[in-house]
Amino acid sequence: MGQAIAHAFAAAGHPIQLAARGAAGLDTVQTDLALRHGVDVTLHEFDVLDSNGFGGFVDGLPALPGVAVSVVGYMGEQAENEQDQAQAALMMRTNFEGPAGILALLANRFEARGSGTLVGVSSVAGDRGRATNYVYGSAKAGFTAFLSGLRNRLAKKGVHVVTVLPGFVNTAMTEGLDLPEKLTAEPSEVGAAVVKAVQKGRNVIYVRRIWWLVMAIIRNIPEPVFKKLKL
Amino acid sequence: MKLSGWGRFPVVETQLCAPRDVAALQALVTGDEPVIARGNGRSYGDSAVGAHTTLDMRHFDHMLSFDAETGVLVAEAGVLLGDVIDAFLPRGWFPMVTPGTKFVTLGGAIAADVHGKNHHVDGSFGTCVEWIDLMGPDGQISRISREDDPDLFRHTLGGMGLTGVIVRTAIRLRPVETAWINQTTLPAPDLGAAMDLFEQHAHVPYSVAWIDCMSRGAHLGRSLVMLGDHAARADLDAKKARTPLDAGHKGAHTVPLDFPGFALNRWTVRAFNELYYRVGAWKPTKALVDWDTYFYPLDAVLKWNRIYGRRGFAQFQCVLPLDTARTGLTELLEAITEAGAGSFLAVLKRFGPQDSAFSFPMEGYTLALDFPMKPHTLDLLDQLDAVAVSHGGRFYLAKDSRMGAETLRESDSRAAEFEALREARGLKEHFASAQSERLSL
């Protein structure tokens, strides 16, 4: 999904800084982005669980980016997350603590500069906790709330924050799951939606609009009924 | 899962895997089940549907290098031709050879050794292929070319993915000055006139004809012959000349649902007639057409295969050698108009000479048309097969969905040699499609 978002920005002429664990392994992606779109692409080592390294990471970038996108996500197995406390903690750190931490740092730099857009890819799973994936969902709920607060804080400082709720996306994370076609976006759709949201200054987007309706319904089911449902 | 080609017939039960890297691909290729690579699913029949396992190669979609001196692009097999155009047309490069859709992968274009409107001048897609990185049955990738393992290279062009999995390739692009095509449309009152026009304009880089399959008798083979050439900068008006390599972005429409069976006929015939008479009145018409409209008119309607409804459709495409083309085509068109249940528009094209191991084209005329899948369609297609075979013709495997193994061997003596190569190199147990099993390749 991150690569698709990078392609969408590169196609719009933006230079790209790709940050990931084992960034050197992204050399093929780097070449492909540069060849297709004729933009500069750089690779940067980044580990979302290593919060001590965040400062050095940001200082090491060739330039403070105009737009920063966090596409970190790790779903794991709900059954394991329920039983294994260490696993659950790792999940929460990966989906909430880490992404919030790096965006907080970038937010302060953007605020000092007085411009920029931060994009957090969160999840519809954060809209309401469900038995099938509430550990992941709760971390995403935290991240969504963090983005909302950050947007509020920076609204008058020239810095914009976009919350992206992709719904199902056809990626390695969802491979092998039997997902309904109408609700499942291709990564390229997410890329296009993110670029558009940034350009138009949108606040919260669902990539496929139908997800707004689906989640509105799910959020509004009364708790006495909801707790007995299998969702 | 159930999978089919672009014609949505036949539908085959297969295991679909989408490896994300070479290691995952290796594991699948060296496994117990035979596999077949699939690109973007644009072949019409079952050539990219595995009888056992189908490898969706679309994750291998990276461009790896480009030499702006020679125009050679190195890319993974899952890159779409349309992506190549998007990336390199703005820099003045266009594919050497392109089929009628830009939604084909490079791997698919090689496997089917696709042809375009310039076959009579430039040959098939294989012409622009410098080398191929092919994964063999042992999972090892070897770089094959006209110099390195030329036998395997030649059989991989048009080999329908049955010689291994195409992983990467180097293709040569063509320098162009603009994103526009000078198009001339010539009406031809019958088949003979259409063929004469092809012969008269043999030097024009692009040529193709639409045949009206509804006209009979003296008008049998009534056609519009469309000629084209890349426009030079000097051909553009001042406004277009400002951005000569950008013809603007066309929107696309999607066919939202399966049409009922009766929907197709009236539209296409009316469109043809309208064009024909308009052209007829002004003959010949010249126009400056953008690349997308010229090469890919059907791509503007995404999922156009749905207009044939759920039962799908079959494509028929054969090529007849020059000396029998006229009588053979007449017989084919007569059989089609007589059946009355067939296609309404067909495509006719003059092929130039071609030297290849198992590719479809040969010097002569090729006829391509669609048939909605109806009860008598398969019978009619068998009948057309027989006419083509009796005139020394052969068939395009990228379109085929139902031919018998005997028909293939009757029409193409190279099939036995192709099969022998597969035996000798141990490819048969590892690479198989529903089509290769049907045709016992």
pLDDT, tens digit (0-9, with 9 covering 90-100), for B304-356: 788 777 888 899 999 999 999 999 999 999 998 888 755 667 899 999 999 89
Q: Give the pLDDT confidence score for residue B277 in this predicted structure.
A: 65
Q: Are B55 and B17 in contact (CB under 8 A)?
A: yes
Q: Give the pLDDT confidence score for residue B325 in this predicted structure.
A: 97
Q: What is the dihedral of CA B413, B416, B421, B427, to 10 degrees?
A: 130
From A74, A134, A136, A206, active-site residue: A136
Q: How far apart are CA A121 and CA A67, in angstroms?
A: 13
Is residue B298 situated within a structural domain? yes
Minimal Cβ distance to B87: which of A28, A31, A36: A36
Q: Are A98 and A72 in contact (CB under 8 A)?
A: yes
Task: Report yes or no: B65 at the A interface, CB cutoff 8 Å.
Answer: yes
**Percent over 70 (pLDDT), chain B:** 92
Task: Report yes or no: B64 at the A interface, CB cutoff 8 Å.
Answer: yes
Chain A residue nearest residue B91, CA to CA: A38
Residue B436, amino acid: S
DSSP code string of B339-393: H-SS-SEEEEEEE-----SS-S--SEEEEEEEEE--TTHHHHHHHHHHHHHHTT-
In terms of residue numbers, what domain contains B208?
A: 180-402
For residue B256, pLDDT over 70 is answered with no
Choosing among A27, A28, A39, A173, which should be mutated to test the B contact, i.e. which has the most B CBs within 10 A? A28
How far is the alpha carbon of B3 from chain A, nearest alpha carbon, in Å?
15
Parse chain A into domains and list their residue ranges.
66-226
Average pLDDT, chain B: 92
Query: Could you give the C-alpha distances from B192 to A72, B56, B274, B316, in angstroms and in order?
Result: 64, 44, 22, 21
> pLDDT (tens digit, 9 = 90+) per residue, B290-299?
999 899 988 8
A134 included as an active-site residue: no
Is residue B99 situated within a structural domain? no
What CATH number does the domain containing B335 carry? 3.30.70.2520
Quick one: how far is CA B252 from the chain centroid? 21
Cβ-defined contact of B65 to A29 (cutoff 8 Å): no
Is residue B389 situated within a structural domain? yes
Is residue B130 situated within a structural domain? no
List CB contacts (< 8 A) between A29 and chain B: 62
Minimal Cβ distance to A32: which of B18, B62, B91: B62
Is residue B255 situated within a structural domain? yes
Of A42-46, A76-80, A222-226, B390-394, which gets the smallest average pLDDT? Answer: A76-80
Choosing among B63, B133, B167, B168, which should be mutated to test the A contact, i.e. which has the most A CBs within 10 A? B63
Homologous superfamily of domain range A66-226: NAD(P)-binding Rossmann-like Domain (3.40.50.720)
Task: Report yes or no: A174 at the B interface, CB cutoff 8 Å.
Answer: no
- How many structural domains are present in chain B? 1
Chain A residue nearest residue B75, CA to CA: A32
Is residue B1 situated within a structural domain? no
> pLDDT (tens digit, 9 = 90+) per residue, B31-87?
999 999 999 999 999 999 998 999 999 999 999 999 999 999 999 999 999 999 999
Chain A residue nearest residue B85, CA to CA: A36
Is residue B5 situated within a structural domain? no
How high is the ipTM of this complex? 0.88
